Structure formats: C-alpha cells, structure tokens
Amino acid sequence: MENNLSIREILEWYVTAGVDETFGEVPFGLEASKPKVDAAPKPVLTTRAEDSVSPRAATTDLAQATVSACKSARELCAEAQTLDELRKMVEDFDGCALKLTANKTVFGGGNPDSKIMLVGEAPGADEDRIGLPFVGRSGQLLDKMLKAVDIDRTTCYITNVLPWRPPGNRTPTDGEIAVCLPFLKRQIELINPEVIIVLGGSAANALLDNEEPISRLRGKWLEYRKNDGKTIPVLASFHPAYLLRNAAQKGKAWADLLRMRQKIMP
Ligand code: URA
C-alpha cells in the first residue's frame, strides 16, 4: 500500500501512540528485549491474534490475565523479607505489560528508616530514563516543597504506585494499578513509616481504595490499613505536576506538608 503520510504526520501518530522520545539511533523491537522467562506463575500479558475470536473473549482473557497477575504479585510479595528482595521481585516480575514499554523499573528510593513515605502515581520520562522516583520537574518541585517545611528529601522514602512508566504518561488503568499495588503495600510494610503522604488523586484512590476526588481528600488525616490490621495515618495532597500547572494551589499543598511536619515533629 502506498504511504502518502508526511514526516510530520508520522511523528504525530507516534506521539499519539505514546512514543514521545527516542533512546538511540537504531530501532529495536520488543522481541529483542523480551524479559527473562524464569519468573514464578506466569500470567498472560497479551492476547495472541489466533486466540481472540471476539472482543468479548479478548476482554475475558485480559481480565483473567489481570486476576492471575494480581495473585502472582501478592504471593511473591509475601515472600520478600527485605527491600532488596522486593526490588528484585519487582524487577523480575512479568505480570504487568507496562514493563514492556518502560525503559527502567523505578523502585522506591531514599531513606528506608524514614518516618515519612511519599507515594506518587508512576514514573515520568525522566524517572524512566534514570531509574529513580521524582527526579524530573515534578521531583524538583517536590524537593522545594519539602524544603519549605524544613524537610530534606534525602531523609524521606519516596516511591510510586506503579514502578513502570505508562507510555506517554497516560493515566494507568485499573488493572495496571491492581497488579502493582501488592508491591507498594509490601514496601509500606517493610518501611513501616509513621506517616504516608499520597501525591495526587490517582495515588490516593489506589492506596485508600476509594474514588473521591483529590480536592475532597486533601488536607485531612486519613488511614491506611495494613494487612495486620494496624493503621498508618495518611495525608493526601496535590501532585507536584498539578502544582506546576496550577501554581495558585501551592499554598494548600504547603499547608498539607506543614500539617504532616507538625504530626511527626510536634
Ligand atoms: N510523577 C510521579 O507520580 N512519580 C514520579 O516519580 C515522577 C513524576
């Protein structure tokens, strides 16, 4: 078939599909970078064309793959006794298709003995390139926000709900969140912080298992219930990326962080 698309149209198509940056001059396919095949129970990541007889069957396959990936993540997590073990499990986990398009697995980072754990949504382009959470523009604003309440970022533990960047920074699906949540929950158990700050509505909804908008959640103490029934106080606040676009809301985010500081350093 003749291809009459201009270079601009082709590039626009790539950007729409989530391919918004390049990492080298030579293209490589997913085949070449296929993850290792030795991980424990192996959920189906994609539906093969010959298997998908109808959209309904494909949807059912996907739902089953998600359920099986969630189970596999939960079972794996229970075995992780240290953060390093958990990091290795996340790096080796093949149950979330986001891993196929991500450049790096972005596990949590910072002080594992911290009283403060900050949880964002998912790595962005900079985090995906470097492999650490909150190192791009949002991270730089986060550092300043913490500094404004006299907290050095390096004294905190910082992580995300998802360890892999969704292509083009799209909103993660419920299935992707469900599959990755056990890894976050195990991180919380292993860090055992005194307070958790969730940044943005998506992270807050995932961790608190609700659908409230961030405007209703922020500014008040909420609770995260661990598997052992004990609770950790949670404060939801605006995501730094939102604050970069809505500077007028920075005062509220500052008030949230002050509230957190007063709780841990009365
Ligand atoms: N946004 C997030 O939610 N997390 C990051 O690590 C970076 C940007």
| Residue 64 confidence (pLDDT) above 90 | no
- Number of domains observed in the structure of the chain: 1
Pocket test for ligand 1, best of 98, 106, 117, 127 (most atoms within 8 A of CB): 127
| Residue 136 confidence (pLDDT) above 50 | yes
CA distance linking residue 226 with residue 180, whole number of Å: 16
Q: Is residue 105 part of a domain?
A: yes
- β-partners of residue 197 are 118, 235
Domain harbouring 246, CATH code: 3.40.470.10
CA distance linking residue 241 with residue 200, whole number of Å: 9
CA distance linking residue 218 with residue 234, whole number of Å: 10
* pLDDT attached to residue 105: 98
Task: Summarize pLDDT for 140-167 with one digit per residue, the tens.
Answer: 999 999 999 999 999 999 999 999 999 9
Q: Is residue 197 part of a domain?
A: yes
Q: Is residue 173 part of a domain?
A: yes
Ligand 1 centre and the CA of 138: distance in Å?
7
Task: Summarize pLDDT for 226-262 with one digit per residue, the tens.
Answer: 999 999 999 999 999 999 999 999 999 999 999 999 9
| Residue 208 confidence (pLDDT) above 60 | yes
Question: Strand order in 157-160's β-sheet?
Answer: 109-110, 157-160, 116-120, 195-199, 231-237, 221-225
Residue 91 class from Cβ within 10 Å (0-12 exposed, 13-18 middle, 19+ buried)? middle
Please give the structure tokens belonging to residue 197: 């700050």
CA distance linking residue 183 with residue 91, whole number of Å: 11
Specify the pTM.
Answer: 0.80
Q: Is residue 94 part of a domain?
A: yes
Pocket test for ligand 1, best of 159, 160, 207 (most atoms within 8 A of CB): 160
Please give the structure tokens belonging to residue 139: 């991270």
Q: Is residue 176 part of a domain?
A: yes
Mean pLDDT calculated for residue range 185-189: 97
- Read off φ and ψ for residue 165, nearest 5 degrees: -75, 125
Q: Which atom of ligand 1 is nearest to the CA of 200?
A: 3
| 170: Cβ contacts below 8 Å, ≥ 6 apart | 18
CA distance linking residue 61 with residue 220, whole number of Å: 40
Q: What is the DSSP letter of 30?
A: T
Ligand 1 centre and the CA of 142: distance in Å?
10
Q: Which of 96, 257, 79 is nearest to 161 (CA)?
A: 96
The residue whose two tokens read 């292509």 is 167
Q: Is residue 56 part of a domain?
A: no
CA distance linking residue 186 with residue 144, whole number of Å: 28
Pocket test for ligand 1, best of 107, 121, 165 (most atoms within 8 A of CB): 121
Q: Is residue 49 part of a domain?
A: no
- Read off φ and ψ for residue 199, nearest 5 degrees: -105, 110
| Host domain of residue 228 | 61-264
Q: Is residue 51 part of a domain?
A: no
Q: Which atom of ligand 1 is nearest to the CA of 132?
A: 6
Q: Which atom of ligand 1 is nearest to the CA of 121?
A: 3
Please give the structure tokens belonging to residue 211: 């659908």
Ligand 1 centre and the CA of 135: distance in Å?
8
Q: Which atom of ligand 1 is nearest to the CA of 158?
A: 6
Output the ligand 1 site: residues, CB below 6 A: 120-124, 127, 133-134, 136, 138-139, 160, 241
Task: Summarize pLDDT for 70-126 with one digit per residue, the tens.
Answer: 988 999 999 999 999 999 999 999 999 999 999 999 999 999 999 999 999 999 999
